[in-house]
């Protein structure tokens, strides 16, 4: 496996050709790929911009972002002792918000796209017991477990939940075993969310909904596969895959 450096700025910044862009273009030129994006879509947009021939080589783009209109990312939901009036933090759709322009550009390409959103993360919780299972397996699994302890501590103290949602790992799990997810095709838009008010009034989002919920104004639109739920077996299956053979 090779690792390459990608863009350090959003799509609106300097468009230097990074080694990750060259590598992904070369890989797509060799054949169809499933591309799993665990962050903003900056690198995907840079690789595919002006290259319709490579866009057709994306068999499936799996991205960790997207939400239904009016939905807040609030994991504690009144159960914790965190920073928002004793109810834990409200998270943003971080990957989208880090590069809205890239998300709009990629959505407009009409690639076969699956969104693994915050909603799916709520169905899987990794606890200290799960990290102990990984640590006992040694090797790469133990390396992951050691570095996840701090994230687990953050969720305990700031969110108020005795475990964390493994958002990025779920996207990788979907690429391997999509049958663990409950998904549906839906229209999607990069648009303002008219159903959020107060402090969160009308933020931009990668919004998924029904045709009748189409916003009056949007920067881009397309169709996606949206996966808001995962089955009860996914957590154990995922930890088993990460732990590897005993």
Domain count, the chain: 1
Could you tell me which residues come within 8 angstroms of residue 189 by beta carbon, excluding any fewer than 6 positions away? 107, 206, 207, 209, 214, 215, 218, 219, 220, 221
Identify the three-state secondary structure at position 36.
strand
Per the CB < 8 A criterion, the answer to whether 96 and 40 are in contact is yes
- Report if residue 2 sits inside a domain: no
Q: Does residue 104 sit within a domain?
A: yes
For 187, counting Cβ atoms within 10 Å of its Cβ (0-12 exposed, 13-18 middle, 19+ buried), the class is middle
Residue 147: Cβ-neighbour burial (10 angstroms; 0-12, 13-18, 19+): exposed
Which tens digit of pLDDT belongs to each residue from 174-185?
999 999 999 999
Q: Which structural domain range is residue 95 located in?
A: 21-124+166-230
Mean pLDDT of 90-109: 92
pLDDT score, position 78: 47
- Structure confidence by residue, pLDDT tens digits, 132-142: 999 999 999 99
% of residues, the chain, pLDDT over 70 = 88
Mean pLDDT of 89-108: 90
Report the pLDDT value the prediction gives residue 76, as an integer from 0 to 100: 60
Provide the whole-model pTM.
0.89
* Domain membership flag for residue 180: yes
Q: Give the per-residue SS3 of 85-100.
A: CCCCCCECCHHHHHCH
Average pLDDT over residues 88-107: 88
pLDDT for 10 equals: 87
240 in any annotated domain: no
Read off the pLDDT of each residue in 3-27 and give the average, rounded to a whole number: 84
Q: Is the pLDDT of residue 14 over 60?
A: no
Interval 30-75: pLDDT, tens: 999 999 999 999 999 999 999 999 999 999 999 999 999 888 787 7
Q: What is the pLDDT of residues 105-164, one digit of tens each?
A: 999 999 999 999 998 988 999 999 999 999 999 999 999 999 999 999 999 988 888 999
Q: Does the structure show a pLDDT above 90 at 100?
A: yes
pLDDT in the model for residue 80: 46
Residue 152 falls inside a structural domain: no
Domain membership of residue 131 (yes or no) is no
Query: In this structure, what CATH number is given to the domain that contains residue 87?
Result: 3.90.245.10
Contact 170, 230 (CB under 8 A): yes
178-214: per-residue pLDDT in tens? 999 999 999 999 999 877 655 555 688 999 999 888 8
Residue scoring higher pLDDT (125 or 9): 125
pLDDT at 9: 86
The mean of the pLDDT values for the chain is 88
Rounded (10°) angle between helices 139-154 and 128-137: 160
Whole-number Å distance between alpha carbons of 190 and 91? 19
Could you tell me if residue 86 is inside a domain?
Answer: yes
pLDDT of residue 84: 46
pLDDT at 209: 93
Question: Residue 153 domain-assigned?
Answer: no
């Amino acid at each position: 496996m090779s690792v390459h450096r990608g863009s350090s700025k959003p799509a609106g910044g300097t468009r230097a050709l990074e080694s990750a862009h060259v590598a992904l273009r070369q890989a797509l030129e060799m054949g169809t790929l499933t591309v799993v994006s665990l962050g903003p879509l900056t690198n995907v947009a840079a690789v595919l911009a002006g290259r319709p021939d490579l866009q057709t080589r994306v068999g499936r783009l799996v991205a960790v972002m997207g939400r239904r209109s009016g939905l807040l990312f609030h994991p504690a939901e009144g159960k914790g002792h965190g920073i928002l009036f004793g109810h834990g933090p409200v998270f943003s759709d971080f990957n989208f918000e880090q590069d809205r322009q890239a998300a709009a550009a990629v959505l407009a390409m009409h690639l076969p796209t699956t969104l693994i959103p915050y909603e799916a993360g709520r169905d899987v919780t990794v606890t200290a017991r799960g990290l102990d299972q990984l640590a006992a397996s040694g090797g790469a699994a133990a390396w992951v477990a050691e570095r996840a302890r701090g994230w687990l501590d953050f969720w305990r103290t700031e969110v108020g939940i005795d475990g964390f949602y493994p958002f990025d790992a779920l996207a990788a799990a979907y690429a391997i075993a999509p049958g663990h997810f409950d998904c549906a095709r839906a229209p999607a838009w990069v648009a303002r969310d008219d159903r959020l008010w107060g402090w969160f009034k009308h933020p931009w989002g990668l919004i998924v909904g029904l045709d009748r919920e189409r916003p009056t104004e949007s920067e881009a639109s397309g169709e996606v596969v949206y996966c808001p739920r995962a089955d009860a077996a996914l957590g154990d299956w995922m930890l088993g895959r990460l732990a590897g053979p005993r």
